[in-house]
Amino acid sequence: MVICLVFLFAIVQASIDICTTPNNEPAQCKSLYECVPLLQGLLTQEPKVVEFVNESHCGNLSTEPLVCCGSSYTYIHGPEQIERICGYQHSDDYFRVDTAVAAIDEYPWLAILKYEQDPDLIADGNDFDEFTCVGALIGSRYVLTAAHCLRMRTSAAVGVRLGEYNINEAQDCVKSGVFEVCADQVQDIAIQSKITHPQYNRRYGLNDIALIKLKHAAVFNDFVRPICLPSSDKDHAKVGEIMQFSGFGEITHDGPSTEVKKKVLGALLSNEQCSKYYTNSTGLQRSVNENSICMRELPVNGVHFCGGDSGGPLMYSNKKRWHVEGIAAWGAQICDGRYPAVFTKVSQYLSWIMGVTES
Catalytic residue list = 148, 208, 310
Name the DSSP letter for residue 173: E
Asked if 94 and 73 touch (Cβ cutoff 8 Å), the reply is: no
Q: Tell me the C-alpha distance between 331 and 255, whole Å.
A: 16
Query: What is the three-state SS of 220-231?
Result: CECCECCCECCC
Asked if 199 and 207 touch (Cβ cutoff 8 Å), the reply is: yes
Asked if 116 and 156 touch (Cβ cutoff 8 Å), the reply is: yes
| Cα torsion angle, 266, 270, 271, 273, sign | negative
Asked if 157 and 191 touch (Cβ cutoff 8 Å), the reply is: yes
Residue 111's SS3 state is strand
Asked if 308 and 253 touch (Cβ cutoff 8 Å), the reply is: no
- The residue type found at 294 is C
Closest CA to 191 of 116, 244, 258, 264: 116
H helix or E strand, kind and range, residue 37: helix 36-42
Q: Tell me the C-alpha distance between 293 and 324, whole Å.
A: 12
Asked if 334 and 283 touch (Cβ cutoff 8 Å), the reply is: no
